Amino acid sequence: MDFALPEHLPGLLAEMDAFIEAEIKPLEREHIQYFDQRREYARTDWENGGIPRREWEDLLDEMRRRADAAGWLRYGLPARFGGRDGSNLDMAVIREHLAHKGLGLHNDLQDESSIVGNFPQVIMMDRFGTEAQKSEWVEAVLTGKRSMAFGLTEPGHGSDATWLETTAVADGDGWIINGTKRWNTGVHRATHDLIFARTSGEPGQARGITAFLVPTDAPGFHVPFYWWTFNMPTDHGEVELKDVRVPGDAVLGEVDRGLEVGQTFLHENRIRQAASSLGAAQYCIDRAVAYAGDRVVFGKPLAVNQAVQWPLVELQTEAQMVRLLVRYAAAQLDANHHMEVSDKVSMANYRANRLVCEAADRAMQVHGGIGYSRHEPFEHIYRHHRRYRITEGAEEIQMRRIAQRLFGFGKAAK
Determine, yes or no, domain membership for 137.
no
Q: Is 410 exposed, middle or buried (0-12, 13-18, 19+ CB in 10 A)?
A: exposed
Cβ-Cβ contacts under 8 Å for 134 (sequence gap 6 or more)? 125, 126
Q: Single out the residue of 172, 72, 129, 387 nearest to residue 258, CA to CA.
A: 129
**Which range of residues forms the domain containing residue 17?**
7-120
Determine, yes or no, domain membership for 129.
no
How far is the C-alpha of 153 from the C-alpha of 166, rounded, in Å?
10
Q: Are residues 273 and 399 in the same domain?
A: yes
Q: Are residues 110 and 153 in the same domain?
A: no
Q: Are residues 63 and 155 in the same domain?
A: no
Annotated catalytic residues are 392
What pLDDT, on a 0 to 100 scale, did the predictor assign at position 412?
A: 45
Element (H, E) at 167: strand 167-171
CATH number of the domain at 101, please: 1.10.540
Give the chain's end-to-end CA distance (angstroms, integer): 24
Q: Are residues 380 and 242 in the same domain?
A: no
Determine, yes or no, domain membership for 58.
yes
What pLDDT, on a 0 to 100 scale, did the predictor assign at position 413?
A: 42
Q: Are residues 247 and 266 in the same domain?
A: no
Dihedral, 100, 104, 109, 111 alpha carbons, nearest 10: -170
Determine, yes or no, domain membership for 234.
yes
Determine, yes or no, domain membership for 133.
no
Is 80 exceeded by the pLDDT of residue 82? yes
Q: Are residues 299 and 392 in the same domain?
A: yes
Q: What confidence category does residue 263 fall into, taking pLDDT thresholds of 50, 70 and 90? A: confident
Instruction: For the chain, count helices (H), then strands (E).
Output: 13, 14
Q: What is the mean pLDDT of the chain?
A: 94
Is 60 exceeded by the pLDDT of residue 1? no
CATH number of the domain at 331, please: 1.20.140.10
Cβ-Cβ contacts under 8 Å for 210 (sequence gap 6 or more)? 168, 196, 197, 198, 199, 251, 253, 254, 255, 256, 257, 258
| Three-class DSSP category at 204 | coil
Q: Are residues 227 and 272 in the same domain?
A: no
pTM value? Answer: 0.93
Cβ-Cβ contacts under 8 Å for 234 (sequence gap 6 or more)? 44, 49, 50, 51, 226, 227, 228
How far is the C-alpha of 86 from the C-alpha of 76, rounded, in Å?
4
Q: What confidence category does residue 2 fall into, taking pLDDT thresholds of 50, 70 and 90? A: low
Share of the chain above pLDDT 90, in %: 86
Q: How many domains does the chain have?
A: 3
Q: Are residues 45 and 93 in the same domain?
A: yes
Task: Render pLDDT for 198-215 as a digit per residue (tens, 0 to 9).
Answer: 999 999 999 999 999 999
Is 50 exceeded by the pLDDT of residue 302? yes
Task: Render pLDDT for 382-413 as a digit per residue (tens, 0 to 9).
Answer: 999 999 999 888 899 999 999 999 999 865 44
Please list the residues that pair with 166 across neighbouring strands: none
Determine, yes or no, domain membership for 17.
yes
DSSP 341-386: GHHHHHHHHHHHHHHHHHHHHHHHHHHTHHHHSTTSSHHHHHHHHH
How far is the C-alpha of 267 from the C-alpha of 47, rounded, in Å?
35
Q: Are residues 85 and 220 in the same domain?
A: no
Share of the chain above pLDDT 70, in %: 98
Q: Are residues 278 and 388 in the same domain?
A: yes
Task: Render pLDDT for 338-384 as a digit per residue (tens, 0 to 9).
Answer: 788 889 999 999 999 999 999 999 999 999 999 999 999 999 999 99
Domain boundary among 252, 281, 297: 252
Domain boundary among 197, 218, 252: 252
CATH number of the domain at 203, please: 2.40.110.10
Q: Are residues 113 and 166 in the same domain?
A: no
pLDDT greater at residue 303 or residue 160: 303
The DSSP 8-state label assigned to residue 257 in this structure reads B
Determine, yes or no, domain membership for 143.
no
How far is the C-alpha of 196 from the C-alpha of 213, rounded, in Å?
9
Domain boundary among 77, 103, 120: 120
How far is the C-alpha of 181 from the C-alpha of 185, rounded, in Å?
11
Q: Are residues 152 and 108 in the same domain?
A: no
Determine, yes or no, domain membership for 132.
no
Is 80 exceeded by the pLDDT of residue 414? no
